[in-house]
Amino acid sequence: MNAHEPLSLPDLESWWMPFTANRQFKDAPMLLERAEGMYYVTHDGRWILDGIAGLWCCNAGHCHPHIVAAIRDQCGRLDYATAFNMGHRGAFDLASRLTGLAPPGLDYAFFVNSGSEAVDTALKIALAWHRARGDSTRTRFIGRERGYHGVGIGGISVGGMAGNRRAFAGALLPNVDHLPHTHDIERNAFSRGQPAHGLERAEALEALVTLHGAENIAAVIVEPVAGGGGVLPPPVGYLERLRELCDRHGILLIFDEVITAFGRTGHALAAETFGVRPDLVTLAKGLTAGAVPMGAVLVDRRIYQDCMAGVSRGIEFNHGYTWSGHPLAAAAALAALDVYEREDLFARARELAPVLEEKVHALRGLPHVTDIRNFGLLAAIELAPRANEPGARAMDVFRHCFAAGCLVRPAGENIVLTPPLVINAAQLEELADTIGRALVEVA
Ligand SMILES: Cc1ncc(COP(=O)(O)O)c(C=O)c1O
């Protein structure tokens, strides 16, 4: 890719930007014009090493020629096909391939357009399943503090990000409880991989069952590794314990794998990495390597079959989106799966994970650093907050890194790294070194 002349800025006023301090951004805009492989190019012609796979999604790197060609070709052949009482081969092929990647038993896929839609869909499938089996009192959901499950009303209700919930507190779903988060900085600071302490926090589920009665609880939803909440790998034994408790009490276990799937933890799904099989899995992001919006819910065979049997004729599940299984998205996803397989990117993530671990833990001892966590190709460097300015220090580090040519992500008091799986060791070092310099420079 050739460097190009700086481009003039567009009129910035009318776009109300998501999850952005709009006024600050518009005062000092950062525009991305092009991308290739591990790099973005900004409107002013600067190359930026992408340390966060766009937004935890471009796992194959940017503008991969195979994915680009597949989308172009699909767009010229079949631009749109409704999925309501019709279909097209791409979505069927994708469902077969996706379920083939999942642990046995997760044999069905429901397509949506984002992680948020995947979460709301999974919650609705859980309700529909219990109802189909005559368990219609099972309507209560259990999420977790610091969980991020997107921005639908269902997702923020089960989610545990206080800032995302507060403004909507009066309109959240009733009948939702939260398990405690698993961040235990006193006992686990600077753990490498899964922290040793915290298994007992899963026992809160037993207490909720005692409080409400298992017959009223539909599902537990957690991210196998909490991402948006600051990269919190599960304590050793924690996910296994949740699985045991859900089985004991007839509660469905939903893994929100919107960020952990497609190689992020070294396998197709984190469920495989941890050896714990959920009943429903939400997917998005890496499903199309970020190229076209798409999400999915993987569904256990018995859930699908009970839902089919629960309705005598006609539509079995009154749910779906105009763009469910969109042909362009299906083509992009099939091509992304080709790339993951041909380039053996999940194995590459497993090989690079120890390199990322070394590089980020080498930042221990630098100013402001209170904790460092990593799992697979996910890492977070936690910083001491500035008095009365939550998140400001991490935001400053993000800006310093961007000015120095690296894209990292501020998440609360954390600097997060989730690079494309095509990154190499030298680029991981460049990201860590750039963060290290920024930590020394910021107040
Ligand atoms: C675990 C998890 N679930 C759901 C979502 C929401 O996905 P989307 O932004 O595509 O709606 C995200 C987004 O980061 C996520 O990390």
Query: Looking at ligand 1, which residue's alpha carbon is closest to its atom 3?
Result: 149
Q: Which residues contact 392 (CB under 8 A, 6 or more apart)?
A: 385, 386
- Distance in angstroms (rounded) separating the CA atoms of residues 245 and 258: 23
The pLDDT of residue 2 is above 90: no
CB of 258 sitting under 6 A from ligand 1: yes
259 Cα nearest atom in ligand 1: 16
CB of 378 sitting under 6 A from ligand 1: no
CB of 228 sitting under 6 A from ligand 1: yes
User: How many A from CA of 422 to the centre of ligand 1?
Assistant: 22
Sign for the pseudo-dihedral over CA of 113, 246, 262, 90: negative
Tokens of 188: 């686990």
Least confident of 110-119, 154-163, 304-313, 337-346: 304-313
Tokens of 233: 């790998």
Same fold, 22-60+343-441 and 68-342: no
CB of 297 sitting under 6 A from ligand 1: no
260 Cα nearest atom in ligand 1: 1
Q: Domain 22-60+343-441 is classified in which CATH homologous superfamily?
A: Aspartate Aminotransferase, domain 1 (3.90.1150.10)
User: How many A from CA of 213 to the centre of ligand 1?
Assistant: 30
User: How many A from CA of 259 to the centre of ligand 1?
Assistant: 7
User: How many A from CA of 59 to the centre of ligand 1?
Assistant: 15
pTM above threshold 0.85:
yes
User: How many A from CA of 256 to the centre of ligand 1?
Assistant: 8
The pLDDT of residue 386 is above 90: yes
Q: Note whether 226 and 148 are within 8 A (CB).
A: yes
pLDDT in the model for residue 3: 52
pLDDT in the model for residue 311: 84
Query: Looking at ligand 1, which residue's alpha carbon is closest to its atom 8?
Result: 115
Question: Mean of the pLDDT values across residues 303-315?
Answer: 93
Best CA proximity match to 401, nearest among 363, 375, 372: 363
User: How many A from CA of 315 to the centre of ligand 1?
Assistant: 28
Q: Which residues contact 230 (CB under 8 A, 6 or more apart)?
A: 146, 183, 373, 380, 382, 411, 412, 413, 414, 416
Instruction: Give pLDDT tens digits for 264-308.
Output: 999 999 999 999 999 999 999 999 999 999 999 999 999 999 999
The pLDDT of residue 1 is above 60: no
> What class is the 68-342 domain?
alpha beta
User: How many A from CA of 318 to the centre of ligand 1?
Assistant: 23
- Distance in angstroms (rounded) separating the CA atoms of residues 38 and 59: 10
- Distance in angstroms (rounded) separating the CA atoms of residues 40 and 276: 36
CB of 115 sitting under 6 A from ligand 1: yes
pLDDT in the model for residue 423: 98
Instruction: Give pLDDT tens digits for 39-86.
Output: 999 999 999 999 999 999 999 999 999 999 999 999 999 999 999 999
147 Cα nearest atom in ligand 1: 1
Instruction: Give pLDDT tens digits for 19-29.
Output: 999 999 999 99
CB of 223 sitting under 6 A from ligand 1: yes
CB of 284 sitting under 6 A from ligand 1: yes
Question: Mean of the pLDDT values across residues 195-214?
Answer: 98
Long-range CB contact pairs, 313-321, < 8 A, 24+: 317/124, 317/125, 317/128, 319/121, 319/124, 319/128, 320/83, 320/84, 321/112, 321/113, 321/117
CB of 107 sitting under 6 A from ligand 1: no
Instruction: Give pLDDT tens digits for 239-260.
Output: 999 999 999 999 999 999 999 9
User: How many A from CA of 210 to the centre of ligand 1?
Assistant: 31
284 Cα nearest atom in ligand 1: 10
Domain ranges of the chain: 22-60+343-441, 68-342
Instruction: Give pLDDT tens digits for 137-195.
Output: 999 999 999 999 999 999 999 999 999 999 999 999 999 999 999 999 999 999 999 99
CB of 149 sitting under 6 A from ligand 1: yes
Q: Predicted confidence band at 7 (pLDDT cuts at 50, 70, 90)?
A: confident
Average pLDDT of the chain to the nearest whole number = 97
- Distance in angstroms (rounded) separating the CA atoms of residues 372 and 13: 38
Which of 59, 112, 116 to mutate to test ligand 1, by most ligand atoms within 8 A of the CB atom?
116
